[in-house]
Amino acid sequence: MRFDPSFLDEIRARVPVSEVARVKVKLKKQGREWRGLSPFNAEKTPSFYVNDQKGFWHDFSSGKHGDGFTFLMETEGLSFPEAVERLAALAGLPLPVRTSADEAQQKKRASLTEVLELAAAFFEKQLKGVEGREARAYLERREIAPTSQKHFRLGYAPASRYALRDDLAAKGVSLEAMIETGLLIHGEDIPVPYDRFRNRLMFPICDRAGAPIAFGGRALEADAQAKYLNSPETPLFHKGATLYNLHNARKAAHEAGTVIAVEGYIDAIAMTAAGFPNVVAPLGTAITPEQLELLWRLAEEPMLCLDGDKAGLKAAYRAVDTALPLLGPGRTLRFALLPGGQDPDELLRAGGRAAVEEALSAPLPLVEMLWRRETQDAGLDTPEKRAGLKRRLNEIAGLIQDQTLREEYRRDLANRLSRLFGGQRSQERFRPRGEYLRRSGPERSWRAGPNEPSGPVRIGSALGNSPLFKGERQKVSPRECLILLILVNHPRLLADNIEELAALELEAAEANALRNLLLQSAFDFGGEDAGAETATLIEAIDRAGLTAFLSRLRGMEAHASLWNVRPGAASLDAEVSLKQALALHRRASPLSREKNTTEARLAADPTQEDQARLAEIQKHLTTLEGTEAALEGFGLTTGRVRRIL
């Protein structure tokens, strides 16, 4: 459901962020802010700040920030509509009125949920009764304690064809509602609809709020046609878009920073009982894109915990294929393959919690699973087979939609190929053994063995004089200097640009230290005396031991002669320059990272393809530098403002 911005603003106005955050964080007043320990990381020194005037919180230990809605989403795993509903109730505001069609649909869903709630209660009662004896014995053999049975609302479906139907009918539930919720089997050739689940241990499947929307049933008869049976697709239940135990696991997953996906109901229950509450399970099929999206809402790197046998590996490989087109920065998978072909429940009973902890302690990244699949049992004894492997890996990496990540995968896989084929580089060609790197002078090159058909790759003077070869520490770029100096000289710009500043990627450690100090001081400025505020900030910089670094930045400022950086420049001029510099930095940062990576590879093992790529990157950076040079110009102080971006 979409919410009108004015409605969200009204909630923000009525419910201060500090009121939302203090439920999780013990806050203390500090100036115009509230301060407390991070709710995301264990710490002794407070790094969590709230400013009610700005309606904003920031956690320095994790880098997370946002408003009241975001805080609930980050700490409790709520969806945005759920967070809005929670805060609207605190604000005393009714949710917006929906259309008549929305209301009718909502009423229908509510009535169907009530039917499933009645069914869940019926199954729970049957498990405790005489007919549930066999199901209770099964749970005892599987070491599922009564507390876990109650927590997961386990039940039993009697063997009778009409037990559930007759019970619900006695409570006024219509036959149509039972059919629509998937509780009955019906059809043209079935004159009397009958219970879908019979003589089965029952597992309620719930939505994010914990309401039952479907069931899974485990057969208790050895010769049952289907060992596990799930509800069919219904208006409430879509199998591929649901995860078992999601309602219980999402808060624990946010607190732990990760979520564990196992294969079955029993595995999820056993893991929870063993102290792993951040566990979910797909519903008996290969994991789907929709389920991956649910996992990524809980954690950036969900862990798939699978049996280490052939079936487990097959499931892992299918998950790799499903995930590849969806990957991106902060969206990947890890894989924990359990020893001895055991599932989590078996491993827990055999080795206890410690055995599972050990298996989860060193998960494999997705790229490793991909590599294992493509190289396991692969014959690579001929050039044709090696070329085929190289082509397959390149095509598979091409499935990744995010361009930066796609290129990183190709480089990683190329490096693995190089090691696999005996130290050869593999992107466009392979180099034979016997080459070496000569490092005697500004022009360095590798020389090949006698069979090398092409000439040496030359490293030019620019790379030869780089910190990678000369051992110098990296310097602060003029752009980083510009951003930091504008903020130091115009501290009132800090609060309005805090999100950009928090996400800023800086090279030097001292630059990051100054950035962090500025973030902590962001909400301290905004009075009438700008000069006094700047002096206060300078004192804080001095106490932090960053005065020498600031002097170094000011020296760079004098070289750049950017007058609109200085304290006397008009505030709007400084803000325009800051916005431009931040925009350029966002464009240049990925290129700079790739440049550093490429230079590092060239320093260790030069190739023509890396040399060509470095030239291409440098060309893009030079173009950006040309745009950056246009920042220098006239502003309000002289009557004109130039906007470059």
| pLDDT tens digits along 347-392 | 999 999 999 999 999 899 999 999 999 998 777 888 888 889 999 9
Q: Is 187 helix (H, G, I), strand (E, B) or coil?
A: strand
- 150: in domain: yes
Q: How far apart are CA 123 and CA 164, in angstroms?
A: 8
Instruction: Give the tens place of pLDDT for each residue, 4-53.
Output: 777 888 898 888 899 899 889 999 888 778 999 999 888 888 999 998 87
Q: Residue 393 domain-assigned?
A: yes
Do 116 and 52 lie in a common domain? no
Residue 265 within a domain: yes
CA-based Rg of the chain, rounded to a whole angstrom?
Answer: 31
Report the predicted TM-score, pTM, of the whole model to 2 decimal places: 0.58
Asked if 382 and 413 sit in the same domain, the reply is yes
460/563 same-domain check: no
Q: Which long-range contacts (CB under 8 A, 24 or more apart) does 280-285 make?
A: 280/243, 280/244, 280/245, 280/246, 280/249, 281/243, 281/244, 281/245, 282/243, 282/244, 283/205, 283/216, 283/230, 283/239, 283/242, 283/243, 283/244, 284/216, 284/228, 284/230, 285/239, 285/240
The reply to whether 51 falls in a domain is yes
Same domain, 364 and 384: no
* 603 and 571 together in one domain: yes
Read off the pLDDT of residues 606-627 as tens digits, 9 standing for 90 and up. Answer: 666 667 777 777 776 666 555 4
> Do residues 275 and 322 both lie within one domain?
yes
Q: What is the CA angle 153-154-158, rounded to 5?
A: 130
Same domain for 263 and 184: no
Measured N-to-C along each axis, helices 547-560 and 509-520 cross at an angle, to the nearest 10 degrees, of 100
Domain presence at residue 100: no
- Residues forming a β-bridge with 58: 49, 65
Cα distance from N-terminal residue to C-terminal residue, the chain: 35
Check: CB of residue 643 under 8 Å from CB of residue 624: no
Do 350 and 256 belong together in one domain? yes
Same domain flag for 414 and 368: no
- Is residue 553 domain-resident? yes
Residues 413 and 483 placed together within one structural domain of the fold: no
Domain harbouring 29, CATH code? 3.90.580.10
Q: The domain containing residue 466 runs over which residues?
A: 436-470
The reply to whether 532 falls in a domain is: yes
Q: Are residues 592 and 629 in the same domain?
A: yes
Nearest partner of 168 among 149, 190, 196, judged by Cα? 196
- Separation CA 540–CA 531 (nearest Å): 15
577 domain-assigned: yes
- The CA-CA-CA angle for residues 193, 199, 200, to 5°, reads 105
Residue type, 331: R
- Judge whether 601 and 572 are in contact, CB under 8 Å: no
pLDDT digits (tens, 9 = 90+) for 455-509: 333 434 443 444 333 333 446 777 788 888 888 888 878 877 777 777 777 777 8
The C-alpha atoms of residue 541 and residue 132 are separated, in whole angstroms, by 70
237, 261, 294 - which closes a domain: 237
Q: What is the CATH number of the domain that holds 206?
A: 3.90.980.10
Helix (H) or strand (E) holding 230: strand 228-230
How many structural domains are present in the chain?
6
> What integer pLDDT is reported at residue 598 of this predicted model?
74
Report pLDDT for 529: 64
Contacts with 335 (C-beta within 8 Å, 6 or more apart), sequence order = 303, 304, 306, 316, 319, 363, 364, 365, 366, 368, 369
Q: Which candidate, 551, 484, 548, places its Cα nearest to that of 519?
A: 484
Average pLDDT over residues 102-115: 80
CB atoms within 10 A of CB 100: 8
- Out of 91, 117, 144, a domain closes at 91
Same domain? 289 vs 177:
no
Would the pLDDT of 268 be above 80? yes
